Amino acid sequence: MGLSPPPFSRRRLPPVAVYIDSSGRLHHDQESGLALHCPHCQVLAHIAPVSVPDFNLLQQHKPAQVGLVYRCESCNAPIFLRFTVKLYGGSRIDLAPGFVELERAREKFNFTYLPEETETLVKEAFACFTAGCHNAFASMCRRVAQATFADLGPQARLELFDELANIRRLAELDDDSYELVRRVLFDFDEPGRGNLPVLEGFGAGVLLEVLKDLLYQAYVRRGRLQQSMMVRRYFAEDSSNVTPLPGTRA
């Protein structure tokens, strides 16, 4: 009976080593592949460390977290990351491989066709999401929905609710995610059902993508189509007023 191959799915990957040595140099096993979306140039770019805390000061005060400054290799802007300290050793300070981005890339959206009030609310909602204030983000999303329905009318609200069902089908949203989005964006005027749910990171991300898609359907897509039709009508009317050259057909 032959030997079965080793169960690769059960193998544990070697831990990523991130530490500061006694000379103040940062060591990171995956430094060559460390990349993120730069909050300044919005590009997914490699980042390199440029400022590391003083080793002796860290050993003296022993903070639970340390901040490092990296450089975006796309635009050279500084990027600030926060690491948790795992262990203070005699010759090195070990850091957890995960980090927190103190600045995140801003969400992109075409605000051209949105009313001024709705645009202001959407931008504040995006700012809450970028800052990681997920429940404040949910509150702002509800205000965006209220402003949208007030601007476009009750028929648009019904159409956007139908669009939410399409999003549920296309994105294969689970029941919990769908219910969360529905409660935030559509249940605000129902007695006893208007309380906002508590959001965490994944739920906030789902709500963000749904909100952007609904706003695109409500304003951006309609605005682009109307603008395109106006351009077509203009050129059609303009060409009808042009006298054809001799020997050519009108």
If we measure between CA atoms, which residue out of 212, 198, 44 comes closest to residue 126? 212
Contact 84, 65 (CB under 8 A): yes
172: left (phi over 0), alpha (psi -120 to 50) or beta: left
Q: What is the pLDDT of residue 243?
A: 58
Q: What is the mean pLDDT of each run of 10 residues along the chain (250 residues)?
A: 40 67 91 86 91 95 96 94 94 92 82 92 93 92 94 90 93 92 86 76 92 92 72 67 56
Q: What is the pLDDT of residue 37?
A: 84
Q: What tokens appear for 68 in the block?
A: 């490092």
What does pTM read for this prediction? 0.61
* Distance between start and end Cα atoms, the chain: 87
Neighbours of 160 (CB within 10 A): 21
Q: Which parts of 52-199 are beta strand (E)?
A: 65-72, 78-88, 92-101
> Looking at beta carbons, which pairs linking 194-201 to residues 24 or more positions away fall under 8 Å?
196/135, 196/138, 196/139, 196/142, 197/138, 198/135, 199/134, 199/135, 199/137, 199/138, 200/134, 201/132, 201/134
Q: What is the pLDDT of residue 9?
A: 37
Q: Which residues pair with 21 in a beta bridge?
A: 92
Contact 147, 213 (CB under 8 A): no
DSSP state at residue 91: S
Q: For residue 110, which phi and psi values (nearest 5 degrees)? A: -85, 105
Q: Which residues contact 3 (CB under 8 A, 6 or more apart)?
A: none
Domain boundaries, the chain: 14-101, 116-240
Classify burial at 150, counting beta carbons within 10 Å of its beta carbon; exposed 0-12, middle 13-18, buried 19 or more: middle
